[in-house]
Amino acid sequence: MTETLTPPEPPGTNDWLVPYRVPAQARQWLVCFPQAGSGSTVFAPWGGVLPDQVGVLGVRLPGRETRLAETPLDDLHAIADAMVAPITRLPPGEVWLFGHCSGSLLAYEVACRLADAGRRTPRALIVSAQAAPAPEDPGQTPPQTRWSDTEVVEYLRLAGETREEVLQSKELMDVLLPSIRADLRAAERYARPGDRQRLDLPVVALGAAEDHLVEPDALWAWRQVTRGPFSAHLLPGGHGYLPERTSEVIALIERHLREPS
């Protein structure tokens, strides 16, 4: 049976990947998955600071930014299924996946799908501020947190990634709550299949020394998802460390980008 190959698709021609740098000839594509409820624009500044040969793409999910009218998805597997095609169709260059908070789980699930397909297998997976996914337990009932408005706001306040004036604004929260709630449900219900083979690629885990939501042991557990090299780095700060430590995170990413294949 002859396989029909889909030609490369220029970044910015689909709803899922938003380009923040598109080199003429990219050596690497860094695909960035944001935290719960966030849009791709949190990664917009990265396009101006990473090396010239690195293309920077932010993931934009339904229910946020230009896709605000779409219904947010609360099934991480369904989201990952939809992400495979636009990443596979990227122009030539290594694919690197970066996920922050719940975006790490989505980045991991996409990495597994790309590896299983045998096309555009990621060069590496970089995760941040997220506990490693636990293996599926058939005898355990998935969590069923209701994630009421109050529960979502309490979580955001504890995570420390949302300004208090935003949390106090009914108008803003009415817009943000549906996508945040969907992402939290998707992350809470997610478990990696128990029979899944480990990845054969480097995994880098980033976290914060004062993060009370993700303890170091949970961060180090990411080493269980790969047979490849694993490294972990703790930076100062709490769970919402990324905005204040962006330069250090980018320096770590650059260091790994320079490593030989």
Indicate the average pLDDT of the chain.
89
Give the C-alpha separation, 217 to 132, whole Å. 9
The residue extents of the domains of the chain are: 17-135+142-257
pLDDT band for 9, please (50, 70, 90 cuts).
low
71-75, 140-144, 150-154, 174-178: least confidently modelled range: 140-144
Give the C-alpha separation, 80 to 99, whole Å. 13
- pLDDT value, residue 25: 87
Give the C-alpha separation, 183 to 189, whole Å. 10
Per-residue pLDDT at 205 exceeds 70: yes
Section 217-237 average pLDDT = 94
Task: Choose the CATH number for 17-135+142-257 among 3.30.56.10, 3.50.50.60, 3.40.640.10, 3.40.50.1820.
Answer: 3.40.50.1820
261: closest CA among 125, 138, 129, 94?
94
Per-residue pLDDT at 126 exceeds 60: yes
pTM: 0.91
Per-residue pLDDT at 53 exceeds 50: yes
Per-residue pLDDT at 197 exceeds 90: no
- pLDDT value, residue 74: 93
| b/e per residue 155-181 (b: at least 16 CB within 10 A) | bbeebbbbeeeeeeeeeebeebbbbbb
